């Protein structure tokens, strides 16, 4: 099935991306080490021009890229998304000097970017972060504290780091800094996670930064973070839709050929109805993702609520679809190396990162009540 909102050229491009992911990117992904940055894969994304599209296209194009890549190679999809997440604050809020220094490497795949917002005690409550920027002279600070669950850490070449510059000010006292990985006092280690992409923790012990490292304005870094997340949340949903579609396609093929009870699995009404439900939810999630991305590109006023709805529905849907696919495949789907075993490990994290499902529900409710009060 195809969404009514897509033009023939977009559908063709999506098919080309799926073929590219299967033929060129998946072999590179398979050679990578789980939990480590796959620089060869990132470089190939750059050579294919996909990383450059992160900053030259809109939200819908980003969603189409992530969905298409995810259907054939989740590692390639994630590598692309992490470059965008880490690099977007520089693209959107950086000075000309910052953009000139860092973005060419991000887009050609030779410079690894990372988005460092979460902390051990400030995940969903991002405004409660405690990494502190202590004044160290005029327009100078030293960063002290910890970051955790940071994708691409500790191997990134630079980090978009969010630190508290005004104590007790909540979201209004946070500043975004562009932090090169070679700054003294910055250390980190990898974390062994369920999903295979690189995630780590960072420790900052008096790391020096100056006004030249600020992204945007001092004490206005929360806007940088939320602006980035509003763009990327629908595309997290697109990643989830891509995984759901891959699981659905595998299930259609399996149930059509698997002999059971004198026929095939597809002949059993209970199975056929489950497959229909998987398709229904996947298509509904896809359309909501496209709607949210289109609203973002159009500059609509309700982007935060739409983005939250898209991420919430798509990630919860993908969890359901992949789990149902595993059930219909049986024990074979649990063997290491099976597509569904891989998707089962991949599909859980998107319900947590870039705002957990509970956070998305809170955003949706807040937007609804604000709209009601404005009438």
**What amino acid positions are annotated as catalytic residues?**
354
Closest CA to 173 of 214, 129, 135: 129
Per the CB < 8 A criterion, the answer to whether 160 and 152 are in contact is no
Running DSSP on this structure, what letter comes out for residue 170? G
Rounded distance between C-alpha atoms, residue 69 and residue 208, angstroms: 38
CA distances from 362 to 24, 218, 230 (A): 40, 27, 15
Per the CB < 8 A criterion, the answer to whether 361 and 312 are in contact is yes
**Which helix (H) or strand (E) covers residue 147, if one does?**
strand 140-151
At residue 216, φ and ψ (nearest 5 deg) are: 85, -130
Closest CA to 83 of 58, 60, 103: 103
Rounded distance between C-alpha atoms, residue 330 and residue 168, angstroms: 53
């Amino acid at each position: 099935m195809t969404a009514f909102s897509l033009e023939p050229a977009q559908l063709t491009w999506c098919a080309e991306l799926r073929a590219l992911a299967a033929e060129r990117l998946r072999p590179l992904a398979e050679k990578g080490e789980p939990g480590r940055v796959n620089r060869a894969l990132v470089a190939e994304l750059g050579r294919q021009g996909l990383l450059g599209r992160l900053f030259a296209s809109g939200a819908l194009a980003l969603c189409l890229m992530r969905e298409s890549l995810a259907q054939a190679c989740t590692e390639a999809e994630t590598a692309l998304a992490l470059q965008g997440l880490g690099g977007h604050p520089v693209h959107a809020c950086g000075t000309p000097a910052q953009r000139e220094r860092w973005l060419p490497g991000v887009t050609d795949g030779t410079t690894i970017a990372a988005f460092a917002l979460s902390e051990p005690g400030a995940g969903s409550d991002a405004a409660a972060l405690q990494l502190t920027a202590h004044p160290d002279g005029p327009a100078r600070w030293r960063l002290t504290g910890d970051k955790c669950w940071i994708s691409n850490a500790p191997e990134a070449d630079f980090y978009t780091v969010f630190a508290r510059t005004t104590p007790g000010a909540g979201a209004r006292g946070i500043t975004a800094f562009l932090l090169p990985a070679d700054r003294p006092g910055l250390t980190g280690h990898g974390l062994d996670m369920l999903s295979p992409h690189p995630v780590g923790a960072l420790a900052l012990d008096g790391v020096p930064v100056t006004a030249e490292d600020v992204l945007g304005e001092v004490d206005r870094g929360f806007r940088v973070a939320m602006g980035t997340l509003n763009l990327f949340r629908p595309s997290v949903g697109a990643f989830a839709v891509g995984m759901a579609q891959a699981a659905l396609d595998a299930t259609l093929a399996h149930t059509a050929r698997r002999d059971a009870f004198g026929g095939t699995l597809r002949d059993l009404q209970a199975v056929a109805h489950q497959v229909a439900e998987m398709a229904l939810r996947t298509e509904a999630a896809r359309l909501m993702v496209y709607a949210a991305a289109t609203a973002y590109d159009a500059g609509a006023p309700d982007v935060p609520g739409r983005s939250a709805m898209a991420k919430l529905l798509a990630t919860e849907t993908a969890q359901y679809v992949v789990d149902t696919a595993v059930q219909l495949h049986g024990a074979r789907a649990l063997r290491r190396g099976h597509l569904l075993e891989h998707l089962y490990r991949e599909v859980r994290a998107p319900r947590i990162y870039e705002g957990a499902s509970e956070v998305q529900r809170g955003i949706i409710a807040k937007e609804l009540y604000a709209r009601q009060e404005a009438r």
